[in-house]
Structures are given as C-alpha cells and as structure tokens.
Amino acid sequence: MTGNTEKIKLKLAKRYAKEKRFRLYGISAIAVSIAFLLSLLINISVTGFPAFQQTYVNIDVDIDSKLLNLNSQYSEQDLFRANYSKVIKQSLKTMFPGVKGRKQKRALRQLVSKSAIYQLRDFVINNPSVLDTKQSLWFLARDDVDVFMKGGIDRSLPESDRRLKDFQLVWVDKLLAQDRLEKRFNIGFFTEGDSREPEQAGIKGAIVGSLLTMLVTMFMSFPIGVAAAIYLEEFAPKDNKWVDLIEININNLAAVPSIVFGLLGLAVFIGLFGVPRSVPLIGGLVLTLMTLPTIIITSRAALKAVPPSIREAALGLGASRVQTTFHHVVPAAMPGILTGTIIGMAQALGETAPLLMIGMVAFIANVPQGITDPSTVLPVQIYLWSDSPERAFTERTSAAIMVLLGFLIVMNFLAVIMRKKFEKKW
C-alpha cells in the first residue's frame, strides 16, 4: 500500500510540472499571436510614417517671357501653352553652373517633380505680373530626393547601388546648405488622385471611391439584410422547406471565398446586365451580396435577444404581427442590428479580391464624381502601390494602410460604443 502512495507521490511532481508547462503553452500561444499583431502594426507604422511628410525644393525661377515663347500680346491660351519646362530647366542650370553631359543634365531636371511645370503654369496664369521677374518658389522634390531626405538612401553604399549618384548628392548637399530643401506635411497625399510619380500620388481618389462603394453597399445591404432577418426570425413558418433552404444558403454564403463573389459579379452583373466595369456601382453590388450574410446573421441574433414578453404585450393589446414587429421588436433590436451592419461594412471596406475580378484595378488618376465613374478603392490602391518598384511607393503603401486601418478602427470603435451604450439588459 505504501508502495503505491510513494509511486503516486513521485509522479506528482512530474504531473505538476506538466500542468505548469501546459499553462505556459497556452499563454505563449496568446503571446505569439499578440506579438505578431504588434509587429505588423509597428512595422506598417514605421514604414508608413515618413509618407506623411514630403520634401519640397526651393528654386529661384527666372520667369523669362522669351524662354516661355511669349510675345508682347499674349492671350490666356498662350500662357497656358507656354514652355514652362524650359524655364525650370534654365533656372536649375543657373543655380548649378557647369553641369555637362546629357545624363547629368537629365539628372538635374529630375531634382524637381514633373508637377513643377504645372505648378509654375498655374502660378503664372493666376499672377501674370510675375512675368519677367525672378521668383523664389517651392516645388515638390523628386521621389529619390525625398527618399534621401528621409534617410532612405545610405551614403556609404557604393555608388552603383544607390539611387542617387555622387554628383547628385553634391547638388543635394548644396541645396541643403542653402536651406533650399524642406520637409513639410504632405497635404497632397490626402488631396490628390493616383499618379505614376510617387511624389504626386495621393489617396483622395481611392477614399472617395471607397466612400461611394460603401454608400451603394449600405443602401442595398441594410434594408435587404434587415428585412430578411426580420422575416426569418419573426414570420417564417417553422418546418418549411423553403425557409430551411434559405437558412442553409445564408450560413453557407457566409463562408464562401470572397473571390467567388467577384466571379458572380463578372458573369452576372457585367456579362448579363451590362453594368459598366470598374465603377463603384458594380463594386457596391458585389460587396452587398458578400456582406448580406453577416448582416442577416447578426440582425437575427439581435432580434432573438428581444424577450417574447414584449411581443406578447403588443399582441395582447390588439396589434397585428406586423405592427408588433415594426413598432416594438425592431426598435428594441436596432442597436444590435446597427452594430452588425457597421461590422459588415468594415468587412466590405477592407475587401479586395472580388473587386479585382470586376476591373476595379485600373489606373485611375481622376477623383470619381459619381457611382458610375471609373474608380478604385482604398484596399485596391494599396495592392496597386505595393506592386510598384519605387521605394517611395512602399512608404505610401504603408501610409495608405494606416489610413485604411484608421477607418476600420473608428468603425469598430463606433460599433463597440453603440453596443455598450444602447444595449438593454432585459
């Protein structure tokens, strides 16, 4: 007898150690997941943060009307068509005398962004009095200079591995010494559409596209989803084959890969009904079908949480079933329904794959004006930029991700607040 007790006692230490280890596995599993989440967020923030600043370069522009090809009687049209790129080239040449060779001359032009031409044009058109004067103007710097200013180019690397060659670094140093390079808050990132040039590219087009797409999605999926949920929860007969089929379908659609919804949109909406490609309307329709299951399932849960006594009281006072539902049950369930809708919208806002199928990946520089204008959305913009080789785009991709995550956090926060504030404990 004592032998067995001894054996058990001996084993006990081992069993306790096992217990401790098991517990450790559990906490480390959580720790690993959280660590991954943190490293993702930190990594994106660190990469994306510099994109909120943009380097500007100051140039003394000699706005010579001869260089602009303007005679004494010029019209508005002449001003618009004048050769501003020549003026900027000449001004850079005077600032950096002694630049020889085609390659170096080209590199010199590339200190400033291509947009400088248009900026100068608008400046001259708005103030024609500046003609034939010298003006000190700030222009967007080219992406390579911008990356260098933010510490993205290492001087100690061999010249062939650097985006800025030695002679370009000399110019940049000279500009720095004269305080002609400056980092400012990057307003253009929020007010411009997409562009092939990283320094000019902004997310306004994508944000407006996302908003329009979400509007379409919300106006379609909220009424349809809530109506479906009310029917299934309050009116649907039990033991009905059609109702069973609907329920199975909803549960299954919630788990269908999102890319398949894109195929549906391509074949049915575009192929059959002739809805134009790449527009918020078709994106919204596809996302509606995708978010419906989420909205229906959460709305049903909210309706189910309303206690039967509410219904019985209303019915007892002579209300019809429709009146009971719409006057008493639905208002009581509204906070839960809205929470579910916001979560569904957040899902739709981050969705990319189905939109690739329906042509929302085109390069679109204009900000869309309506739901039938070609446009892109924020997640697709992120995908497009992440494909671009320029270093400056990597930074902008991360910044766009930060904006997208910001929207999602706000939406989820709203959902949590609504749940906390309006949730009734029956």
Partner 1 sequence: MTLEVIITTLLALLFLGYFVGRKRSIALSKKTSQKLHSLPQYYGYLIAFWSSVPALLILLFWAALESSFITSAIVTQLPAQFQQLSADELGLFVNEIVNLSNSGLVVDDEIKRQAVIQYNKLIEFSNSIKSAVVLVLAFVGMFVALTFIKPEMKARNLVEKLIRGAMIACASIAVLTTIGIIFSVIFESIIFFKTVNVFDFLFGTHWSPQEAIREDQVGGSGSFGALPLFVGTLLISFIALVIAVPLGLMSAIYLSEYSSPKFRSFAKPVLEMLAGIPTVVYGFFAALTVAPFIRDLGESWGLSLSSESALAAGLVMGVMIIPFVSSLSDDVISAVPQSMRDGSYAMGATKSETIKQVIIPAALPGIVSGVLLAASRAIGETMIVVMAAGLSANLSFNPLEAVTTVTVQMVTLLTGDQEFDSAKTLAAFALGLGLFLTTLVLNIISLYIVRKYREQYE
Residue closer to partner 1 by CB (options 169, 418) is 418
Residue 135 CA, chain-centre distance (Å), reads: 38
DSSP 269: I
- CB nearer partner 1, residue 22 or residue 426: 22
285 touches partner 1 by CB under 8 A: no
Q: What is the Cα–Cα distance from 63 to 120, expressed in whole angstroms?
A: 9
Q: How far is the CB of 135 from partner 1 (least distance, A)?
A: 38
User: Within 335-354, which residues bind partner 1 (CB under 8 A)?
Assistant: 346-347, 349-353
**Count of residues near partner 1 by CB under 8 A:** 86
In the complex, the smallest distance separating the C-beta of residue 244 from partner 1, rounded to whole angstroms, is 11
Does residue 268 bind partner 1 (CB under 8 A)?
Answer: yes
Pick one of 289, 303, 306, 333: the residue that binds partner 1 (CB under 8 A): 289
Per CB under 8 A, contacts with partner 1 among 119-148 are none
Q: Is the CB of 91 or the CB of 288 nearer to partner 1?
A: 288
- CB closer to partner 1, 108 vs 285: 285
> Dmax over Cα atoms in the chain, in whole Å?
119
Residues 391-420 touching partner 1, rule: CB under 8 A, are 394, 397-398, 401, 404-405, 408, 412
State the minimum distance, in angstroms, from the CB of residue 214 to partner 1.
14
Contact between 219 and partner 1 per CB under 8 A: no
Type of residue numbered 258: S
The structure tokens listed for 197 are 């040039």
What residues from 20 to 79 belong to the interface with partner 1 (CB under 8 A)? 22-23, 25-30, 32-34, 36-37, 40, 43-44, 47
Contacts 24+ apart (CB under 8 A), 357-363: 357/259, 357/262, 357/263, 357/265, 357/266, 358/262, 358/265, 358/266, 358/269, 358/270, 358/277, 358/278, 358/282, 358/283, 358/286, 359/270, 359/277, 359/278, 360/209, 360/278, 360/283, 362/278, 363/194, 363/196
- Closest approach, Cβ 315 to partner 1, in A, equals 14
CB 336, CB 419: distance < 8 Å = yes
Pick from 94, 133, 252, 366 the residue near partner 1 by CB under 8 A: 252
Which CB sits closer to partner 1, 332 or 349? 349
What residues form DSSP beta bridges with 60? Answer: 136
- Asked if 228 interacts with partner 1 (CB under 8 A), we say yes
Q: Does 87 bind partner 1 (CB under 8 A)?
A: no
Under the criterion CB under 8 A, does residue 363 sit at the interface with partner 1?
Answer: no
Q: Which residue's CB is nearer to partner 1, number 63 or number 361?
A: 361
Nearest-5° Cα angle at 286, 270 to 330:
140
Return the residue of 227, 365, 410, 417 that touches partner 1, per CB under 8 A: 227
DSSP annotation string for 52-111? GEEEEEEEEEE--TTTTT--SS--HHHHHHS-HHHHHHHHHHHHSTT--SHHHHHHHHTT
> Distance between CA atoms of 143 and 132, rounded to whole angstroms?
30
Residue 266 binding partner 1, by CB under 8 A? yes
Binding residue (CB under 8 A) for partner 1 from 6, 7, 11, 19: 19
* Contact predicate 91/61, CB 8 Å: yes
